[in-house]
Copies of this chain bind each other. A is one copy, B any other.
Amino acid sequence: MSMRTKRWVVGVDLGGTNIVVGLLPMEGGEVLGLRMRPTDSHRGAKFVVDRIIEMVEQSIAEVLSMHGGRRDDIAGIGIGSPGPLDRKAGVVINTPNLGWRNFPLRDLVANAVNLPATLDNDANCATYGEWWLGAAKGVDTVVGLTLGTGIGGGIVLDGRIYHGVSDVAGEIGHMTIDSTGRRCKCGNYGCLEAYASGPAIALRAVEGIEAGVETVLSDMVGGRLEDITAATVYEGVVAGDEYATEVMKDTAKFLGAGVANIINVLNPEMVVISGGVTRAGDYLFAPLRAEVRRRSFRAAEERCAIVPGELPGTAGVVGAAAVFKKERYGRV
């Protein structure tokens, strides 16, 4: 290993839809050489890995040429991926969204670019990113929730990602909040994700429209109800639509039950909520905080800030880089 001080860490955030790559200065700061491209997982695992490698090389080249420096200044690569994973082996055990099974992602990337690499869960990375450089900077105990196609969760205790005994910890999206409730795509009934993920919000909106409520939402998509997304609902809220506001409030209530559970069990200093739906701002956060207050222990709730993430789009990259730093140097 060179004695030259390493200046940058690469972060890779592999998602079902997009791959995001960037470089972080070792001491933290802005993401440099940021790149985002579609994952195109239908083209196969090799294609996806090649795309990651290409993006990593491009990011590195851009940063080295703009900031001066040489390849030896790059410490390594942190990779965030959907799970479940075997972190130690660097293997993706099974990812329905990508269609992978026992796929040695970490070493394929590491060997191709000739840099050491680490692998961790994407939701863990997003939470760790908010902890390192975002909303939870300086906070010891943080729980992160990312609302998207699914609901990802991450737990940071005393400045470390809490992984549990088999790297599954933090699956907050699949917490039962209604044991006889809606079927979730995981096979269980009444998961938080079945109520508050993007598709679940859209589905609840469509159900109401089909039942005959008056709303601008159907006009917003030209009557094609299948085009309604969580973003449509958010736009309806901003446009002052009563029904959209109701759907958002319901979302906040379901989410509030989940967040209250987390607060009662883990008693964290902060819960960071990320994802597109947080653009709804106080339309989401005001009823969310009220529901949490109603459902959790006061001594826990009054010590816990519930805030939106501050690194939209890059939390995963930042956190993946932080994981590399932590595993390589013992501290972030």
Instruction: Write out, one digit per residue, whether chain A residues 150-180 have a CB within 8 A of any chain B CB (1) or not (0).
Output: 0001010100001111111111101111111
Complex Cα–Cα for A64 and B254 (A): 57
Contact flags A250-274 to B (C-beta < 8 A → 1, else 0): 0001100100111011111100000
A177 touches B176 (CB 8 A): yes
Q: For the complex, give the distance between the alpha carbons of A44 and B84 in Å.
A: 53
Q: Which residues of B contact A188 (CB under 8 A)?
A: 260, 294-296
Residues of B within 8 A of A300 (CB): 164-166, 168-169, 171
A299, CB-defined interface residue at 8 Å: yes
Our pick among B180, B261, B294, B304 for the contact of A175 (Cβ within 8 Å) is B261
- Shortest beta-carbon distance, A122 to chain B, in Å? 15
Residues of chain B within 8 A (CB-CB) of A176 are 177, 257, 260-261, 295
Q: How far is the CA of A135 from the CA of B188 in the complex (A)?
A: 29
Q: Are B179 and A297 in contact (CB under 8 A)?
A: no
Cα separation A80 to B297 with both chains bound (whole Å):
20
**Interface-central residue, A170, A189, A261, by most chain B CB under 10 Å:** A261
Indicate whether A71 reaches chain B with its CB closer than 8 angstroms.
no
Query: Does A280 sit within 8 A of B, measured CB to CB?
Result: no
B171 touches A265 (CB 8 A): yes
Pairwise interchain contact B179-A254, C-beta atoms closer than 8 A: yes
User: A243 CA to B133 CA in the complex, in Å?
Assistant: 57
CA distance A164 to B268 in the complex (A): 6
Report yes or no: B264 in contact with A84, Cβ–Cβ below 8 A. Answer: no
> Contacting A141 at CB < 8 Å: which of B84, B164, B187?
B164
> Judging by beta carbons under 8 Å apart, are A297 and B174 in contact?
yes
The smallest beta-carbon distance between A8 and chain B, in angstroms, is 32
